């Protein structure tokens, strides 16, 4: 009887192990090589932008030791708000410390540190920021390295902003895998404050032009023939992923298209590798 019981437990453990392994393998098989990293980068770089733009909203008042008095709505509110903040106005530096671990309203767990070095507390045209990401993580994905952000707007407007984000050998971490990203990203957003915060309208578009190298030394280039687009109504539902736009990935022996138009506010996109069937991926499977 004891032998039968032990045999049953042994068999069950093998089955459970096989099931877990199969789920992981199915995910990897579903995603063409090089696309997983591009999708995660798109999600995570926007998360970092949201945190930084949230802090910029009241930075001028804080730098001058004044109370926040803006009547306009901050569409980035609460992004990274659980961080311990240290503002040093002598060297123009705001440090966001997530080392105590904080959980956002949509269940994301942030860790690590973001250091914002700014040229001026007022975000006018030409304003530059040097951002240091010290092992910054959201759940199982993260960044380690530096990025620079420049305000490239054509007018000094709080409701119409354009930024150029540049990076070189920025480490993207997915679980235990690390990839290196270099290139730039152009971001533009326009907002129209509503009578209430919930009726505010906003469009947020981005164009990526970058290259990246995987842990196995495979190199890919990514371009954006159709800007990715996010809207405020999705942010209100705590969905921070493009609802439309296309990106193309080219590798040594592959060509992949990412199509973000899947109908509504969600974390899904279509992926199609050259010569293969079109597939749908839910980013939640990676997060």
Contacts with 172 (C-beta within 8 Å, 6 or more apart), sequence order: 37, 40, 41, 44, 141, 142, 143, 178, 179, 180, 181, 212
Structure tokens given for 124: 């006018």
pLDDT of residue 284: 85
- Of 185, 201, 140, 190, the closest CA to residue 161 belongs to 190
pLDDT of residue 60: 63
pLDDT for position 62: 66
**Residue numbers in the chain where pLDDT is lower than 50:** 1-25, 66-70
Prediction pTM value: 0.87
Q: Specify the pLDDT at position 105.
A: 67
Three-class SS state of 28? helix
What pLDDT is attached to residue 149? 98
**pLDDT tens digits, one per residue of 102-143:** 887 677 899 999 999 999 989 999 999 999 999 999 999 999
Return the HEC string of the chain: CHHHHHHHHHHHHHHHHHHHHHHHHHHHHHCCCCHHHHHHHHHHHHHHHHHHHHHHCCHHHHHCCCCCCCCCCCCCCCCCCCCEEEEECCCCEEEEECCCCEECCCCCEEEEEEEEEECCCCCCCCCEEEEEEEEEEECCEEEEEEEEEEECCCCCCCCEEEEEEEEEEEEEEECCEEEEEEEEEEEEEEEECCCCHHHCEEEEEEEEEEEEECCCCCEEEEEEEEEEEEEHHHHHCCCCCCCEEEEEEECCCCEEEEECCCCCCCCEEEEEECCCCCEEEEHHHCC
Report how far residue 259's alpha carbon sits from residue 268's, in angstroms, rounded to the nearest whole number. Answer: 9
State residue 10's pLDDT score.
Answer: 38
């Amino acid at each position: 009887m004891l032998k039968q019981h032990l045999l049953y437990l042994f068999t069950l453990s093998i089955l459970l192990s096989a099931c877990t392994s199969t789920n992981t393998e199915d995910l990897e098989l579903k995603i063409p090589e090089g696309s997983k990293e591009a999708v995660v980068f798109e999600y995570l770089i926007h998360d970092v932008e949201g945190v930084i733009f949230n802090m910029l909203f009241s930075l001028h008042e804080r730098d001058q030791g004044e109370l926040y008095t803006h009547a306009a709505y901050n569409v980035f509110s609460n992004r990274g708000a659980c961080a311990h903040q240290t503002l040093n106005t002598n060297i123009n530096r705001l440090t966001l410390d997530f080392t105590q671990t904080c959980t956002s309203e949509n269940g994301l767990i942030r860790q690590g540190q973001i250091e914002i070095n700014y040229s001026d507390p007022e975000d006018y045209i030409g304003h530059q920021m040097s951002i240091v990401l010290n092992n910054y993580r959201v759940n199982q994905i993260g960044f380690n390295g530096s990025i620079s952000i420049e305000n490239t707007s054509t007018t000094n407007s709080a409701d119409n902003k354009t930024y150029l984000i540049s990076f070189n050998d920025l480490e993207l971490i997915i679980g235990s895998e690390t990839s290196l990203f270099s290139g730039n990203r152009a971001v533009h957003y326009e907002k129209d404050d509503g009578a209430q915060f919930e009726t505010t309208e906003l469009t947020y578009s981005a164009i990526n032009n970058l290259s990246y190298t995987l842990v196995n030394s495979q190199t890919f280039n990514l371009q954006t023939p159709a800007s990715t687009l996010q809207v405020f109504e999705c942010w209100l539902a705590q969905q921070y992923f493009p609802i439309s736009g296309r990106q193309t990935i080219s590798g040594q022996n592959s060509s992949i298209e990412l199509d973000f138009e899947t109908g509504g506010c969600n974390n899904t996109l279509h992926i199609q590798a050259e010569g293969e069937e079109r597939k749908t991926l839910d980013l939640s499977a990676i997060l």
